[in-house]
């Protein structure tokens, strides 16, 4: 059995391209999970705010959940941008 050298090289290149695509998709998936978690926190804060209109005192919980949600979204975006930069550097 003889392996064509040119075919082997193109196969390696294809594997590398697929690995890059998988890494980019994983990075995007991680960003979306951070954003989803942040939005859940903010939506919960809004729900508690509507409950607070009926006589409850939930102000500190609302602000805490909103802050945690916003922080989660910001951390996700920063993480995404840093990883995208590392991916570009690693595969060039």
Q: What is the pLDDT of residues 24-75, one digit of tens each?
A: 999 999 999 999 999 999 999 999 888 877 666 778 889 999 999 999 999 9
pTM recorded for the entire structure: 0.76
Buried b (16+ CB within 10 A) or exposed e, 8-36: eeeeeeeeeeeeeeebeeebeeebeebbe
pLDDT in tens, 11-36: 568 888 888 889 999 999 999 999 99
Residue ranges per structural domain of the chain: 5-90
Q: What's the pLDDT score for residue 91?
A: 75
d(CA 80, CA 86): 10
């Amino acid at each position: 059995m003889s392996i064509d050298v040119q075919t082997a090289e193109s196969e390696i290149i294809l594997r590398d391209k697929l690995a890059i695509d998988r890494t980019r998709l994983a990075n995007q998936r991680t960003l979306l999970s951070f954003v989803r978690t942040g939005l859940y926190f903010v939506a919960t804060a809004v729900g508690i705010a509507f409950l607070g209109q009926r006589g409850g005192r939930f102000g500190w919980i609302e602000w805490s959940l909103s802050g945690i949600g916003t922080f989660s979204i910001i951390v996700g975006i920063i993480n995404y941008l840093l990883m995208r930069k590392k991916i570009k550097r690693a595969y060039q």
